Chain A
Amino acid sequence: MGQKLIEAENVIKKYGPVSALDDFSVEIPNGKIGILGPNGAGKSTFVKIALGLITPTGGKITVLGEELSKDTIHIRQKIGYMPEHDCIPNNMTGVEFLIEMGQVTGMSFQSSTQRTHEILSHLQMGEEKYRKIGEYSGGMRQKIKLAQGLIHAPELIFLDEPTSGLDPKSRQEMLKTINGLTEISDTNVLLSTHILQDVETVCDYVIIVNNGKLQMKESVKTLMQKQNDFIQVRIGGNVDNFVKEIKKSMGNKEIITKDSILRIPYTNKKSFTQIIDASVKSNCPLYEMERTAVTMDNIYLEVVK
């Protein structure tokens, strides 16, 4: 899996009696990684700890191969950050703000100016870049927030809920922009969100967090493969007999069993007849039968349940 972006070992963060991160351990590979979880799961806390903005109560964290507690400032030279909340000054123009952010990162005025105009041309800001940020729409403000995180060409950018508060059209545009900009600049992405589609669109790896703990770590490709159609049935009698009969008629397909509920892969319309036959042959009364689908939503909801 190559070099690790972030390695967290038993990271704990407590706010009084509340644990935002509870013995959280994860190895995050290079690429575009999504941290998925409901609100309050600990995603933003993890991002802020990885940035060195807040100190963990316990544990060890390594970012881009360097231990965070040893040289936070140096690591930040290689990291960009796009916070969740609105945090850009209204009284500056887009250009002025990006130049300032470049200089605060350590770039010279000339270099920062040049890079500002390059990024803003990629973001197709046009002449609006010379307007005050206070006059920008929500989508444009998000673009400026993204641009300031990429101004110094970081190796890794943390995107904290980048589509938060955007309408569906602006959201799609924002995701497209993130994909475009990070691909051409070859930047690793750590996208923290509670919106599943954002991860599907941008990321190639997903980490699901809930209650401050790691719940799942999987490539988006593998998760997508898990998406399939199945028939969910509820039966009475001996489940093992029913499974034997169904395997005889449908072949050796993977059947997921949970008590009296079974998930049988849907092949074609004949599947329903084969299930009824198996029920009769195994002497298992069939109470319910419904065709349904496993989507990433289902997987996510099951993990965070």
Chain B
Amino acid sequence: MSEKAQVSNKFKDFKANLTTRPWIVWGMGIRGFEKLFNLNNKIILSLVGIIYLWTFVFYVILAGDGDYPCDFIGTEDGKNFYNCKPISYYSDLQFGGIRIFLVTLAAIASSGLIANDMTDKSIHLYLSRPISRLDYLIAKFIPIFLLLILVTVIPNIIVYITQWSDAGLKINWIKEENWLLLNIITQGIIYSTVYSIIGLTFSTLINREYRASGAFFLFIYGTNIIVEIFHAIIEDDRILLLSISHLLDIINFFIFDKEFYFLSFGALQPLDIDDIYAIITLLVFVTSCSIFVNWMITNMEASE
């Protein structure tokens, strides 16, 4: 048998041993994460580096003598208000938070995930594979979610361990802060999920990578500013639910079971909003974004 014929027989007899859908999706997600977190993505790596440096400087070195996780800051209308480090971590720079870096990272990292597949139309090839549209979306969600977990949950856990270490690694300390670790993980997961879904929505809606990141950034900060202006005029706290950053802050207070407030020009402003409104608004927002992305992809397939 000639060499060519042998190659042909091998080619002909090939039977692909195919794995299951969950593994395909997980594999796509992990490969996507590797692409995001690779040495060529200098901006992403720089932002991750800045967040870790910021956390190290402001939450480890300059942590001060205040109580961890929450410092009592005052009483108003008979309610006690606290400044909790895991909550202020997600606030703006002037309050020691990393919000601007986190939003920038989420905007840049998520923008190309679906937009690039739509631009070069390779999305049609992915969707012709043995995966559903939802699988494809999950596979695109995994990389950005893991990247955001890396800058939300992990640094907070490092701070938590540092504080525990400062307390002499005593088991009692962990017992006193019974749910703290779970709260830190929960808030990180919520932030990462919400920003990932918003990122994928803009990546689908605007299939140009840089425009999608710009739109993401403007959406977060634009609504933040507009809502604060209207809040000052209307003086109804519920309007703050229309801004994702405020909504997430409110959810943060809810997770740590602390009274809601926000700081306006350094002054503490208590908020009068029912927890349930915040939770429902967040769920409606996330669900709407997911349905919208799925609809966009379905519509695109049909019209191609």
Contact = CB atoms under 8 A, between A and B. Distances in A.
On whether the two chains bind one another, the answer is: yes
Given A105-B16, A111-B17, 16 more contacts: A15-B302, A53-B127, A53-B128, A73-B21, A83-B125, A83-B128, A88-B122, A88-B125, A103-B27, A105-B129, A106-B129, A111-B16, A115-B16, A118-B14, A152-B16, A184-B12
Given A15-B302, A103-B24, A118-B7, A76 B122 contact: no
B238 interface: no
B227 interface: no
Assign chain B's interface to a size class: 35 or more
Given A90-B120, A184-B11, A104 B16 contact: no
9 contacts: A76-B129, A79-B128, A85-B124, A88-B125, A105-B18, A106-B23, A106-B129, A185-B12, A186-B12
B223 interface: no
A30 interface: no
A115 B13 CA distance: 12
B126 A152 contact: no
B26 to A, nearest CB: 11
A156 interface: no
Tell which of A89, A104, A105, A152 has the most Cβ of chain B within 10 Å.
A104
B258 to A, nearest CB: 45
A87 B124 contact: yes
A89 B18 contact: no
Given A73-B21, A88-B120, A148 B16 contact: no
Contacts of A148: 125
A106 B16 contact: yes
A125 interface: no
Contacts, number: 103
B31 interface: yes
Contacts of A48: 301
Contacts of B117: 89
A121 interface: yes
Contacts of A76: 128-130
B177 interface: no
Most B CB within 10 A of own CB, among A76, A79, A121: A76
B116 interface: yes
A146 interface: no
A122 B8 CA distance: 9
A105 B12 contact: no
Given A54-B302, A87-B120, A115 B24 contact: no
Most buried by A among B15, B31, B120: B120
A108 B120 contact: no
B131 interface: yes
Nearest to A103: B27
B16 A107 contact: yes
Nearest to A85: B121
A185 B11 contact: yes
Contacts of A15: 302
A16 to B, nearest CB: 11
Contacts of A81: 125, 128
Nearest to A77: B130
Interface in B127-174: 127-132
B77 interface: no
Interface in B67-122: 116-117, 120-122
Interface in B187-226: none
A83 B124 contact: yes
A104 B302 contact: no
Contacts of A90: 120
Nearest to B15: A153
Interface in A126-155: 148, 151-153
Given A107-B18, A108-B17, A118 B11 contact: yes
